Amino acid sequence: MLPRWNRALAHLSKLRSLNSIELGKDFSMIGRQSYAAVAPAAPDSPDKSFPTRSTVNLDKMFWSKPCSLALAPDSPLRVEDPKYEGIKLIILKMMLFYSKQSKSIRGANVIYRRVLSQVDEPAIYEVFNLEKTFKMTFSLLVLHMWLCLRRLKAEGKDGVELGQHLYEIYNHDVELRVSKAGVNLLLTKWMKELEKIFYGNIVAYDAALLPEAKQEELTDIIWRNVFSDDGTSKPDAAALRTVQAMARYVRREVTCLSLTDKEAMFSGNFIFTSLENSSPDPMRR
């Protein structure tokens, strides 16, 4: 993936400092045709890098037994459809608010907010000692999109359709960020480049989890897709602990998502494992 990154970043850096780009946190409902509506991108804050937390012991993290990521029924983080009665209910039904497609679009929006809540927060950059640049945020965004799409695909046709809505929301978001970086005339070109990177990463992550794949293959893929800036295929000794910890995090999230029920996935009422706590395996709330 590195040659494409080098070309894309070389062009983007001439237009605007990539370190000032951050994926926005608030999105309105996005969907196809009449459902499409996107909130403006959130303004950039001046400092996008986060210091390393010396209290984090990566060697002891992400070893705990995987569990479902579904939110508890009484969790304040849950997102539920509003309950209407009478004339409002009739009107909304006539406007197809409760149609399968409309529900799927709303669910995809919530799922994407869960992805952004993990990728946008300082914790993931602090724990894994990452600089918050456009490349890094994009790499983490693709990684967490893959985690969700992989789980949704396991639900068959309905999951694939929901995944398509999720991908459209993601793609629109990335287009906004690239445009915000100053790319306008060449926007289509660079979106195609980022699309190639997205699908290349997805294929690589899937291959790394095949039964016949070697144990270190996922570590090497994460190194190349997330960490590496010089084209090397394997992490050096200094970075190995961190990359291995992210590989354990990814494997654990894959298993946790597989334990998360269909309703929680389709409604977006789940949350990735918290990285806020610096203890070896932070408990989810």
Tens-digit pLDDT profile for residues 52-65: 444 678 989 999 99
Tens-digit pLDDT profile for residues 212-229: 999 999 999 999 999 998
Residue found by looking up tokens 């992400």 in the block? 62
For residues 196 and 4, is the Cβ–Cβ distance under 8 A?
yes
Give yes or no for residue 279 having a pLDDT over 70: no
pTM: 0.78
- 21 or 57: whose pLDDT is higher? 57
* CA-based torsion, 229, 48, 270, 35: positive or negative: negative
Domain layout of the chain by residue ranges: 57-267
What is the pLDDT, as a whole number, of residue 87? 86
Residue 26 has φ and ψ, to the nearest 5°, of -110, 125
Give yes or no for residue 42 having a pLDDT over 60: no
